[in-house]
Every structure is written in C-alpha cells, then in structure tokens.
Amino acid sequence: MIFGVLGVVNFSHGACYMLGAMIAAILLRDTGMTFWVALVVVPLVMFLIGVLMERLLVQWLLKLDPLYNFLLTFGLTLFTVDLVKRQYGVSSLAYPVPAGLGGRVSLGSVELSVYQIFAAAFSVLVCVVVWLVLTKTRVGMIVRASTEDAERSRALGINVARWVTPVFGFGIALAGLAGVLAAPTRSVNADMGSFFVIILFAIVVIGGLGSILGAVVAGFLVGLVEAYGQGYVGQFSQVLIFVLMALVILFRPAGLFGREEAA
C-alpha cells in the first residue's frame, strides 16, 4: 500500500515492528505500562515517528530515483537496529503474556496458546477495520485511487501530497502495533525485525504488488502456514513460506491478486 501511494519501498517496516515491541518492553520495564495501554500508546508513538521520518527524510527523496528510497529505508533500518543495540544491548527483554491470556488449548493435533489465538483474532479485527476504512470511506477511496495511479489522481484535483504523510505514518503505526502484539510470543531484541522483512517480502510477492486485498489474504496465508507449519515441522515452517512463494511465482507471476500488467 505504501509502495503504491508513495513509490517508496519501505523495508524499514521490519525495524518499526522491532521498535514497537522494544518500546512496549521498555515502557513495561521502566513505567510498568501494561500490555493493554501499550496496545494504544505504542501505535500513536509510532505514528508520530512515521510522520517525522516522512517529513524529514522521505519527502525530498521522493523526487529522486526509487532506488534511493530503497537505500534510504534500508539504511534507516540498519541505523535504527544499531541505535537500539547501543542503547539496550543485544540481549532480549522479557515481555510476559498479559494477565488473563495465559494457558494453552489444543485444536486437533496442534496446540496453541490462548494468547496466540487472541493475537490472531485481534489481527483479523485490525485487518477488517482497515479493510472497511479502505473500501467504505472517502479517505479510503482517495488512498485506493492514489495507490492505483497517483498522477491521474492529481490531475483530477486530489492533493495527493497531503495524504502521503498520514498514510505513511499509519503504515508505520500498524507495523508498531504488530510489534506489540508479537512481543509476548517471542524474545524482544534488536534483531527481531529481520525475519519480518522476509515475511513482508513474501506477502508482497504472494499477494501481488499494490493489491490491497492481496496483501490481506497473503498476510493471512503466510501466518497460517507459519503457525501450522510450526506445529508439524518446527523450524521448517519458514522454508514452507518460501515454497508457497515459489509456487505463486510459478503459477501466478503477478501474485494472487496482482494485475498481470503490473508484473
């Protein structure tokens, strides 16, 4: 979505995911902020960070070659990761599962924690809300139109530039939210975002570049393959994602929902 609206390949989403989790963990350690409060506060903080990042850096780079954007977001990622390492070290911070969501349940042969089910349901809820905003509101309509063709939208009187900053910030906020959601399920450290980039890449390839429905469905597929794969083949689940990616590239080069000409 961000790629379409801005022409920015945002590989910094992995770093933002990590930042979201780190901020939540640090706030818990230093101020005792609970998971539920962090779920609201962290995305807001990340939104502001996103807006600043866009205003200060991305804005003027938009005029240059897309390759520079790629390099910028990549550089920004490395910078953020290193900054967090310097400040907080490489060891992981603990983030306990929030009260009331502990325990496990078994679904057939797969055993899932209550928290995993909560996180999955919450993600679906967020997806549905984003989906509704995109499809049912005027803002969503403008975002879809500008994603499809920014130049054409400008020629129809839409001030695309005015929407770029908030949409960018929103994307960063979502990545931060994903980080908070993930924090109780894994070790929170500076490197936790690196695999996220690969998953993000997989989602884009599988769903088709610029297809919003594709991104939602692919995100879900990748999540399922990872969760169920973990139950059956453990570490191999990450390989499964690449198998899925390879299959899609073989049979639907433009992605599941991509337009053929966009390939």
Partner 1 sequence: MTEKRTAATGSTLELSGLSAWYGEARVLSDVDLTVAPGEVVTLVGRNGAGKTTLLRSVMGLHRQVQGSVSWDGTDLGKASPDKRARAGIGWVPDDRGIYSTLSVAENLQLPPVTGSDAWSVEQVYEQFPVLHERRDFPGTKLSGGEQQMLAIARVLRMGSRLLLLDEPSEGLAPVIVQRIGEIIRQIKDQGVSVLLVEQNVKFASTVADRHYLLAQGRVVESLDNDSFQERTTELLEYLGM
Residues 200-219 touching partner 1, rule: CB under 8 A, are 212
Under rule CB under 8 A, residue 53 binds partner 1:
no
Nearest to partner 1 of 75, 140 (CB atom): 140
The mark string for 139-158 relative to partner 1 (x by CB under 8 A, - otherwise) is --xx-xx-xxx-xxxxxxxx
Nearer of residues 55 and 144 to partner 1, judged by Cβ: 144
* Least distance from partner 1 to the Cβ atom of residue 50, Å: 23
Residue-by-residue DSSP string for the chain: -HHHHH----TTHHHHHHHHHHHHHHHHHHH---HHHHHHHHHHHHHHHHHHHIIIIIHHHTTS-HHHHHHHHHHHHHHHHHHHHHHH-SSPBP-PPPTT---EEEETTEEEEHHHHHHHHHHHHHHHHHHHHHHHSHHHHHHHHHHH-HHHHHHTT--HHHHHHHHHHHHHHHHHHHHHHHGGGS-B-TTTTHHHHHHHHHHHHHH-TT-HHHHHHHHHHHHHHHHHHHHHHGGGHHHHHHHHHHHHHHH-TT-SS--GGG-
Instruction: Give least dist CB 169 to partner 1, A.
Output: 21
- Smallest gap from Cβ 135 to partner 1, in A, equals 9
Q: Is 30 in the site for partner 1 (CB under 8 A)?
A: no
Decide if residue 249 touches partner 1 (CB under 8 A). no
Question: Is 48 a residue that touches partner 1 (CB under 8 A)?
Answer: no
Q: Which is nearer to partner 1, 30 or 261 (CB)?
A: 261
259 binds partner 1 (CB under 8 A): yes
CB of 81 to partner 1, least distance (A): 35
**What is the rounded CA–CA span in Å between residue 179 and residue 96?**
14
* Nearest approach, Cβ of residue 5 and partner 1 (Å): 12
User: In this structure, what token pair is assigned to residue 25?
Assistant: 């963990």
Q: How far is the CB of 71 from partner 1 (least distance, A)?
A: 25
> Nearer Cβ to partner 1, position 176 or 258?
258
Where on the chain is the footprint of partner 1 (CB under 8 A)? 141-142, 144-145, 147-149, 151-160, 212, 259
